[in-house]
Amino acid sequence: MGAQSTEISMPSQSKVLTLLRSLISIRSTTLQEQSVVDFLKTYLMQHSWHVHLQPIPDSSPTRHNIYAYRSKSETDNIRTNVKVLLNSHVDTVPPHIELSEDDETLYGRGSCDAKASMAAQICAVEELIEEGKIAEEDVGLLYVVGEETNHIGMIAANSLNINAQYLLVGEPTEMMIAEGHKGMIKADIVVKGQAGHSGYPERGKSAIVALVDILHDLQHTEWPSDPVLGATTLNLGQISGGVAANVIPEHARADISFRISTNAEQVAAQLRTIVEQPRTDGVHVTLSIRGMQNPVRCETVDVDGVEKFVARYFTDIPYLKGTQKPLLFGPGSILVAHSEKEFVKKDDVIRSVRIIKEIVQKLVHRAT
């Protein structure tokens, strides 16, 4: 692609940054997303998009996903067949941090995770349509709630029955295209021993000692790895137990998580074998797996000057069922997402519009 076709005009630069400023300025921490959804609805309708707000079942307060598409028809039927579905999430982690900026950078909650991606996606596809490089019916926009907690928005989006060949998800990828991201397991290990006076250790069974033994074994286990996605890693997130220094602890608990690069059930089976093996008499161990997802393999597109990488974090991708092939790209870094200094570089936002345009064009041409 020549230099002329990848340039972004000054009005376009101003448009994406203006939209992003508006998005960051609106508080949208999880459960408080409705204001930014309402803003997006108005904005997209003013820019010739048909907008459907999808209620989230059993949500209190009331929340909606937003699905937008272009159509020359005025029918009430929602058009759900698209070649490329562009997606991100409207919710942010707390607390809300107000917008601020300097010459090079926009700061504030959601600036990189993931409102920069939304702004860039919207501006990119609008430019492609206006330039006649894709057809209106080639693309749709899906922005969901609840990604930062329980993925309820993407789960609910399945009932929209969107038929897409490709799913381009916007998350902070440091301007690189992901080859995939790791899966996860979240689990609790609960140990019950027998309380007693610390002066008579033979009279009790320490739940903490048993738990430490289990965690030691987990930390010194070789977990499976993948040549592309890398090593499966374990995090000991929380540990609790005991009531006092002079009491043999009857209860102990650890909350752990894995970032999985291979098959989740394989790792879960290995975890069960270690945790549930016979240990000290009189000590009972319970393993509860609270969540499990396999890693995601992403489709990729070659774009000049854009590297590829593997994301260690998790996304909404596996919660949207179907045959669509996922891609993952966006401005900003996950290393500053969720922090009090969350930011995104203005030049990256502007450049991401050009990259998304090239990705979408190539996917549209690749689609059958």
What does DSSP assign to residue 197?
A: E
Catalytic residue of the set 33, 126, 127, 147: 147
Place of tokens 């998790």: 314
What does DSSP assign to residue 310?
A: E
Q: How far apart are CA 120 and CA 330, in angstroms?
A: 8
Bridge partners for 205 per DSSP: 194
For residue 122, which of 3, 8, 20 has the smallest C-alpha distance?
A: 20
The tokens describing 351, both together, are: 């450049």
Question: Hey, what amino acid is at 236?
Answer: L
The length of the chain in residues reads 368
Q: How far apart are CA 67 and CA 226, in angstroms?
A: 35
Q: Do the bridges between strand 163-169 and strand 177-181 make them parallel or antiparallel, or are there none, so unpaired?
A: unpaired
Residue 74 annotated to the active site: no
Q: How far apart are CA 86 and CA 313, in angstroms?
A: 19
Order across the sheet with 100-101: list the strands. Answer: 100-101, 105-107, 343-345
Please name the residue ranges forming H helices in the chain.
3-6, 10-25, 34-46, 116-130, 152-157, 207-219, 264-275, 346-366
The tokens describing 16, both together, are: 């994406």
Q: How far apart are CA 353 and CA 334, in angstroms?
A: 19
End-to-end CA separation in angstroms for the chain: 22
- Residues with catalytic roles: 147
